[in-house]
Amino acid sequence: MFAALGIRRRHLIFIKKYIYLVLFFPFLVSGQEWTASNDNFRASLFLSDKPEEIYSAWNYGEANGVKIEALDSIKAGNPFEAIIVFSGCQPNKKNKCKVVANWEIETFSGVSLGKVDEVPLWLNEKAPAQGQLQIAEKGVGLVADAQDNGYVIRVTVKDLISKLSIKLTQRVKVSDT
């Protein structure tokens, strides 16, 4: 099974140029299920077997110093985390954003491992400056099981103020070695 992980607050710094380009120029990777935009609201879904390194670099590293590499496969028994990076949430009158996500994880064979709705990603937090990227407060973690062969992670990221939403999908294979 999977569980939503604890709240993680992140400073507003830029990350690697290629992620910035993906979020702000999505036509460069058009047709990709892991990144999308709806008007000015943009989001990307990344999988990592080293999420603490990403969060630490985001919080304490130098600007443009966060390296997020594609995770195509994960060794059975190892944990990994789905991480969302977004921009363009619409602030309310108090300059706060309300961004949530509906998560669904299933195996490659279509067996549902669970759904979690309305998970806060950036709820009543100060709106990021225009054009700045934000890492979500919560991600979803899972320990890979060899019996599953792989996972499909689907998330709908919703800006509750603008009423915009984005659907993202990532896949990861489970390997024995």
What does the pLDDT look like over 131-158, one tens digit per residue? 888 889 888 999 999 889 999 999 999 9
Give the pLDDT score at 31: 64
Would you state the pLDDT for residue 51?
Answer: 87
Report, as ranges of residue numbers, the positions in the chain whose pLDDT lies below 70.
1-31, 61-67, 177
Q: Can you give the pLDDT at residue 60?
A: 74
Mean pLDDT taken over the chain? 81
Which CATH architecture is the domain 3-175 placed in?
Sandwich (2.60)
pLDDT at residue 15 in the model: 37
Measure the CA dihedral 113/155/116/173, to 10°: 20
The owner of tokens 């991600």 is 139
pLDDT at 13 (0 to 100)? 33
DSSP codes joined into one string, 96-161: EEEEEEEEEEEETT--EEEEEEEEEEEEEEEPPPTT--EE-S--EEEE--GGG-EEEEEEEEEETT
Which pTM value belongs to this model?
A: 0.80
Predicted local distance difference test score (pLDDT) of residue 30: 53
Which pLDDT value is given to residue 68? 74
pLDDT at residue 1, rounded to an integer: 28
Please state, in angstroms and rounded to a whole number, the distance separating the CA atoms of residues 2 and 81.
10
Three-state secondary structure call for residue 168: strand
Under 8 Å CB-to-CB from 1, ≥6 apart: which residues?
113, 114
